[in-house]
Amino acid sequence: MLPSREMGAKSLKPPRLILHNFLTSEECKELEFIHKSSSTVGYRPNVFSTTLSHLIATNSSPFLIPFVPIREKLKEKVENFFGCEYELCIEFTGLISWCRGACIGWHSDDNRPYLKQRHFTAVCYLNSYGKDFKGGLFHFQDGEPTTLVPMAGDVAIYTADSCNIHAVDEIIEGERLTLTLWFSRDSAHDEDAKLISLLSKTMLHCSINMPEVKPPMLASINMYWFSLDLASHQQLGFDICLARMHVLGFDVCSCQAEGLLSDSTEILMEPLQLVRGKELFKQDFVNILHALQAVQFHHWKGSDLPNVQSEVQPGDVVRLSKSQQEAVRSLKSQFLKDHQAVEMIFSCTTTCSRNEQNFDWERFSATIVALKDYCCKLHKELLMSLPYWRSHGIIYSVPPEYS
């Protein structure tokens, strides 16, 4: 990691700290993968979010592991800078992305009665202004620096009160991604205690000796439905999981495609196969989230894999039949009703060719194997860490020698 350059002084008001290159490029990309594999429609227009409790609820608990060292480092920075060592707990951790049209005016982060427990804020930028999105500059109302230009790896730390009133410009293009944490002096709002309780319930029967990695499970289908126009929410919207795959050049086909041409909101919760152009990859994915994980992992790691021998067997990739083509079109007409909005919200920064003759299915198949290994590694680390978390009542990086 490049050395951090710190700006700020405790004696100056308003108190804030800007850290450059605090996160590595790989840490940023890993969190981006998690968010684009797991996010739901967020709390504001054109905003999408991934919370740690949501990851647990959707069988994606292993994805908590990459957050752990980052949360620790940020908490230490906040406590040291503001002189409140051992006084703080983490109140909230979340990945938040802002897409075209999203913005927020002047406000403080504790500006509601139910937010008064928030004392400090840390915003980690996971992608970069100009490269990944346009617009979305961060402005403080008073003091220096006045404006922050989001760059991947940088972090802004500041008090959550009216000393640091701020705003974010409207996103003009792309998707602006952050990891946001709030810290509190009130232990009644300790996020760790809630997460440990949830993990203890969901992983009650898991064993370190038999670590079964479960596929992801969708929350309510409505949590993935996005529309620019609330007045015609169902008529002119789209499923964000299918949309994120579509902009990367993939579609899906139901494993029972021949009989699923009628309207059914349950299709995306059932087994699916991936489609690219007119080719069908005949591997079953448990649901749309499972397929989305594979596509996003390929987008993140596919080009980094060493040269791979063929993992694709004869018959693994076949031409779509006419009935399957019709099934794909029918599914898209139901779940991608507003194609213009899909391209506007999730526009790709790179051109995604749908020419199946140029697509490396062997590398994609190897990526799926790598994804399984990645999830298994995280799952084992989670199983090893959870007893220590329960014992100490805090989520922290358990030293490898204790495994």
Tokens of 157: 């730390």
| SS3 state of residue 21 | coil
pLDDT attached to residue 230: 66
pLDDT band of 308, cuts 50, 70, 90? low
pTM value is: 0.93
Would you say residue 402 has pLDDT above 80?
Answer: no
Which pLDDT score is estimated for 315? Answer: 79
Spatial neighbors of 209 by CB under 8 A, at least 6 apart, are: none
- Predicted local distance difference test score (pLDDT) of residue 403: 59
**Average pLDDT of the residues in 109-136:** 97
CA distances from residue 211 to 207, 274, 393 in whole angstroms, order as listed: 6, 27, 23
User: Beta strands of 71-117 (E only): which ranges?
Assistant: 89-99, 104-107
The confidence score (pLDDT) of residue 309 equals 64
Is 231 a residue whose pLDDT tops 80? no
Provide the Cα torsion 16, 137, 25, 78; round to 10°: 20
The conformation of residue 210, written as its DSSP 8-state character, comes to B
Amino acid at 167: A
- Return the H-helix or E-strand segment holding 140: strand 138-140
Q: What angle do CA 215, 221, 226 make, to 5 degrees?
A: 120
Rounded Cα distance, 254 and 267, in Å? 7
* pLDDT of residue 342 exceeding 80: yes
Mean per-residue pLDDT, 283-290: 96
What confidence score (pLDDT) does residue 13 get? 66
pLDDT number for residue 390: 96
Under 8 Å between Cβ of 1 and 21: yes
H runs (alpha helix) in 239-338:
240-246, 288-301, 322-335
